[in-house]
Structure 1
Amino acid sequence: MKKTNSTNAKAKKSDRLKVNSKSTRKKFDALEKKKIIASLTLMDDLFMQVVLEEQACTEYILQTILDKSSLKLKEQRLQKRMPNLHGRALILDCLCTDEKGLLYNIEVQNSSAGATPKRARYHAALMDTHTLKKGEKFSKLPESYVIFITDKDVLGEGEQLYQIERVIRKSGNLFRDGSHILYFNTARQDDNALGKLAKDFKEANPKEIQSEVLSHRVSSLKEGKLDREGEKKMNVLLEKYRKKAVEEGIEKGIEQGIQQGLEQGKNHLALLIGHLLETGRMDDLKRVSYDEDYREKLLKEFGL
C-alpha cells in the first residue's frame, strides 16, 4: 500500500513538473515575443514588410526620398517574386506603381553584400523584363526607380542620398533611358527631411518616430492594436524573425568555433546552443555568437 502511495505521489509530482515546464515555456515565449517586438525597427526587413502593408507608409517614404510630395501610389506588391528565363529568381521587398505609371522598387539592406551596384543593375533589368508586354514598343517601357535603403554608407562617399544615372561620358549629358538607382544612406542623419527619415528608420520606440504616419503604423503593430488578420501576420513575422535569429546565431557560433580550431570547444558550443534554444533564451543565443566573455560565463552556468 505504501508503495502504491509512493508511486502515485511520484506520478503527481511528475505531472506538476510537466505543467510547470509548459507554463515556464509559455512565459519564455511571451517574454521573447515582447523583447523582439520592442527591438524591431524599420531597418528590420521582415518588420518593414508588415509596416509597408499600409500603403500610406510606402507613399510617405517615396515622397521623402524622391522629394515628391504629390506622389500617389496606384498599386503595390510586397515580396514579389521575379524569375528570369534561366531560373534565377529575385524576390523584391516592395514593388509599386504610382498614378503616372512610374515603377518603384524599395529594398532594405543591412549588409553591403545585399546592395552591390551589380545587384541594383539586376533589379532594374528584371523590373524591365517583367513590365514590357509582348509586342509593345520600347517607348512604352515605364520610368523606374530602384531604391536601396542601407544601414551603412555602402558606396563610401559620405553622401546622404546617392542618385545614380547613366550619362554620355564626353558631354556629361544624361542618357535619359528612364532608369534610376538610388541609395539612401541611413547612417548619415542630417537636420533635414531625409535625416529625420533616417532616424525614424532606426528608432524602435514608436513615440520617438517623427513621421506621424510611420509612428501610428509602428505603434499599432507593436502595441497589438490590430484585427485578427493583423495579429496573424505579426505572429508569422515573429516566427520568421526568431528562426532567422537562431540561424544567424548558430552560423556565427559555428564559424567562431571553427576559427578557434578547438574540437572540444565546438562540441561545448553546440551543447550550449541546444540548451539556449530549449529554454527560449534567444537574446543569449545571439550574444554568445560574438561576446566571448559572455559565452564562457554561460558555458560555466550550464556546466560545460
Structure 2
Amino acid sequence: MIWMTDAIHIPGTGRPLFPDGQPVVRLETVDSATGRRFSDRTEVILFNLRYKGNSKRGDLAHDFRETDPKKMKNPLLRELMQRVKYTEKGEMEMCELTRQIFQDGKTEGIQEGIQEGIQKGEIRSSRKTAGKMLRKGLYSLQDIAELTSLSLSEVRRLQAELNP
C-alpha cells in the first residue's frame, strides 16, 4: 500500500515523518499491544510529496504538486492531466468521479451516523435499566454491569449519581 502525503511530522509526536527529508519511508505493521511484527507481508510505503530532490522521485513529487500539465515532467501524467483539464470528455469524467466520491462519502456518513445513533441509544437504554436495578437494590454492581453490558466503573458512576 502506498500513501502519498505532504505531512511533515508524525501526529502527536512532533517527530519528523521523513527523516532527513527522505522521499520514501517504509512502515512495518506491528501489534501495538505486544510489539510483535505481523507476518502478513503487508508493506506500507509513505511517499513524501514535499520532496524536492533531483531524481525520478523528486520529479514525481513535483508532478503531483503541479497544477499546470505543461510544467509536468512525466509524459504520462502530463498527458492524463491535459486530457482531464482540457477536453470535454475529461472534464465530464472528473465531474462524474467527483459526484461519485461525494455520494459515496454522503452514504458512508449516513451509515456511520445511524450506527452511532444506535450505539448511543443502546448505551442510554442500558444506563436506564441499570438505574432501575440500582434503585431496586436487588443486584450487585457486578451483576448489573454484566446484565446491562456496562462497565463496572460506569455502574459505579450511575450509583454515585443516584446517591449523591
The TM-score with structure 1 as length reference comes to 0.25
Comparing both structures, which one devotes a greater share of its residues to strand? 1
Higher relative contact order (CA 8 A, sep 6+): 1
